[in-house]
Amino acid sequence: MLKLVNTAVDESRQGEAYSVNAIVFSDNTKRFFIESYGCAMNFSDSEIIASILQGEGYAPTPHEEEADLIFLNTCSIREKAELTVRKRLTEFRKLKRSRPSMLIGILGCMAERLKSKLLEEEKLVDIVVGPDAYRSLPSLITEAESGTKAVNVLLSREETYADISPVRLNSNGISAFVSIMRGCNNMCTFCVVPFTRGRERSRDVSSILSECQALFQQGFKEVTLLGQNVDSYYWVDPTTNHPVDFAMLLERVASIDPLLRVRFSTSHPKDITDKVLYTMNAFDNICKYIHLPLQSGSSRVLQLMNRTYTREWYLAKVKRIKEIMPDCAISADIIAGFCTETDQDHRDTIDVMQRSEYEFSYMFIYSERPGTLAAKRYTDDIPDDVKKKRLAEIVSIQNNLSLESNKKDIGKIVEVIIEGDSKRSNQQWMGRNSQNKVTVFDKVDDENIHIGSYVHVLVKSCTQGTLLGTIVDLPLTKK
C-alpha cells in the first residue's frame, strides 16, 4: 500500500528545517527518515541521498518513530543553524532509547565542519558523512550496523553526483531543484561554505539537460538551477571540446520547452555577465528574477568581507539589470553587524537597499564561524544589541520596499503557475509570477485550470509579502 504525505517547502529559509514527505510502505522494508536544514543545495542533496538509499532497498518515511535510519542533513552557516541540530539530536536520544537498533547519521555541512569530533561530542551519533561522500553511505551503514562508528568526510574535486537521479522529496510536482555545480572558490571571509563544500566544480551539461527534460516529461513546470555561484558555471564538452558557460546552459535549459520555467540561484555580483542578462531577456520562460547578495553597502566592509566588489560596482550591476530587463525583480542577502561595522557603514547598507529597491531580502546578524578568515583575522566586535538593532532597521526598510514594489503591481496582469492551495484558505490557490512574487487568487471551477496550469491574474490588492487578485482569462496557450 502506498500513502502520499505532503508538506510545504520554503526554499528560501536558510538554516531552518524542512521535513520530508514520502511514500510509506506497509511491508517490513527498512525505512529512513531524513530532515534537511540550510540552503536549497542541501535540500537537493537530500534527494540524491534518498536515491542512493532507495537503490539499497530503503524506503523513505515521514515518521521518525518508525525509521531504522535517521539522517539530519545539516547546515553550518550560522551558529543558530548548528544549535537547532543539537537540539533535535536530544529529541532523538529518547527515541533511540526505545529502539536501540536505530542508527543516527549527521550529513552535510556540519558533518564536514566538525568531522569525527561530532562523534565525541554527540555520543548517540553513529554515522558522519560530508557532502561529497554520499556514495559511500551504503558501506557506512553496514559498518555502523556492525557497531563501529562510521565516518567519511573526504571532499572531492570531481564529485557532482551527475549520474544519480534524485528522488523528489517534499515535492509539489510543479517545481524542482537541479544542482548544476558544487562547492565554492570564493573566499568571503565570513563564510564557512568553502570549507564545508570544497572546491567549485561544474556538472556535466548533458546530465543537467536530461534531468530537466525528464522533469518536464513528468509534469514539472519549473526548474531552479542551483549553485553557490551559478555565473561561474563552466563545462567543456568532451566530445566537441566546446566550452559551455552559464548563459549557454540557461539557453539550452530554456530551449527544452517554452512551458518549462527556468530559475537560478545564486548569482555573485562580480560574476553575472551581460551575456546572462541578454539570455534572460531573450527567453520568456527564464524568470525575471535575480538573487544578487549584497552583504554590505559599505565598500570598506565589502573589502573586509573579500566580496571583491565595491558599492559603486554593485549599484552599476543593478542599473545594468534594470536597463536590460526593466521588469526584473532583484533580491539580496544582507549581513548586519560584521566586524568593525560603523553606524555610517550600516547607513551605507540601507542606502544601497533603497537605491536597489529590492523586492525581497534575506537578512542576517553576523555570526562568527570557527575556521573562517574573519574568525582568524578580525574581532567580532559589534555588541549583540547593536547587531540586533541594525538588523531590525534593515528588516523594516525591506518591509517598506517590498510593500512599495507590490503596490506598483496593482492593476497589472501577471502570469502564474498554480502551485497549490494558499496558506490561508483551501478556496484559494497560490503560485508565483516570473518575479518570484507569491500570488493568491480565488479558485475557479474550470477543468482546464488546476495545479500546474499557467493562469493570468489581475492584481487587485497586496500585502507586503503577497499579491492578491483574480484569474482574468483562461490559460490560452499555456495549459
- Contact positions toward ligand SAH, by CB under 6 A? 14, 77-78, 190-191, 193, 228-229, 266, 268, 293, 295, 333, 335, 364, 366-367, 369
Q: Check binding of 224 to ligand F3S (CB under 6 A).
A: no
Q: Least distance (Å) from ligand SAH to the CB of residue 194?
A: 10
Q: Of 4-12, 189-197, 314-322, 375-383, which part binds ligand F3S (CB under 6 A)?
A: 189-197
Nearer to ligand SAH, 75 or 140 (CB): 75
Q: Least distance (Å) from ligand F3S to the CB of residue 347?
A: 28
Instruction: Give the separation between CA 187 and CA 181, rounded to whole angstroms.
Output: 17
Q: What residues are paired with 177 via a beta bridge?
A: 224
Instruction: Give the separation between CA 380 and CA 402, rounded to whole angstroms.
Output: 31
Among 268, 291, 311, 317, binds ligand SF4 (CB under 6 A): 268
Q: Least distance (Å) from ligand SAH to the CB of residue 447?
A: 42
Whether residue 436 contacts residue 329, with contact meaning beta carbons closer than 8 Å, is answered with yes
Q: Which of residues 214-243 bind ligand SF4 (CB under 6 A)?
A: 228-229
Q: Check binding of 297 to ligand SF4 (CB under 6 A).
A: no
Which partner from the list ligand SAH, ligand SF4, ligand F3S, none does 452 bind, CB cut-off 5 to 8 Å by kind? none
Q: Check binding of 38 to ligand F3S (CB under 6 A).
A: yes
Q: Check binding of 72 to ligand F3S (CB under 6 A).
A: no
Q: Least distance (Å) from ligand SAH to the CB of residue 39?
A: 6
Q: Check binding of 179 to ligand F3S (CB under 6 A).
A: no
Nearer to ligand F3S, 15 or 469 (CB): 15
Which partner from the list ligand SAH, ligand F3S, ligand SF4, none does 466 bind, CB cut-off 5 to 8 Å by kind? none
Q: Check binding of 109 to ligand F3S (CB under 6 A).
A: yes
Q: Of 36-44, 82-90, 140-148, 216-224, which part binds ligand F3S (CB under 6 A)?
A: 36-44
How many residues line the site for ligand F3S (CB under 6 A)? 14
Q: Of 4-12, 34-42, 90-98, 348-356, which part binds ligand F3S (CB under 6 A)?
A: 34-42
Q: Check binding of 194 to ligand SF4 (CB under 6 A).
A: yes
Among 76, 298, 361, 406, binds ligand F3S (CB under 6 A): 76
Q: Least distance (Å) from ligand SF4 to the CB of residue 175?
A: 23
Which three-class secondary structure string do you get for the chain?
CEEECCCCCCCCCCCCEECCCCEEECCCCCEEEEEEECCHHHHHHHHHHHHHHHHCCCEECCCHHHCCEEEEEECCCCHHHHHHHHHHHHHHHHHHHHCCCCEEEEEEHHHHHHCCHHHHHCCCCCEEECCCCHHHHHHHHHHHHCCCCEEECCCCCCCCCCCCCCCCCCCCCCEEEEECEECCCCCCCCCCHHHHHCCCEECCHHHHHHHHHHHHHCCCCEEEEECCCHHHCEEECCCCCCEEEHHHHHHHHHCCCCCCEEEEECCCCCCCCHHHHHHHHHCCCECCEEECCCECCCHHHHHHCCCCCCHHHHHHHHHHHHHHCCCCEEEEEEEECCCCCCHHHHHHHHHHHHHHCCCEEEEEECCCCCCCHHHHHCCCCCCHHHHHHHHHHHHHHHHHHHHHHHHHCCCCEEEEEEEEECCCCCCEEEEECCCCCEEEEECCCCCCCCCCCEEEEEEEEECCCEEEEEEEECCCCCC
Which partner from the list ligand SF4, ligand F3S, ligand SAH, none does 364 bind, CB cut-off 5 to 8 Å by kind? ligand SAH
Q: Check binding of 267 to ligand SF4 (CB under 6 A).
A: no
Nearer to ligand F3S, 193 or 382 (CB): 193
Q: Of 192-200, 263-271, 282-290, 315-323, which part binds ligand F3S (CB under 6 A)?
A: 192-200
Residues near ligand SF4, by CB under 6 A: 184, 186, 188, 191, 193-194, 228-229, 268
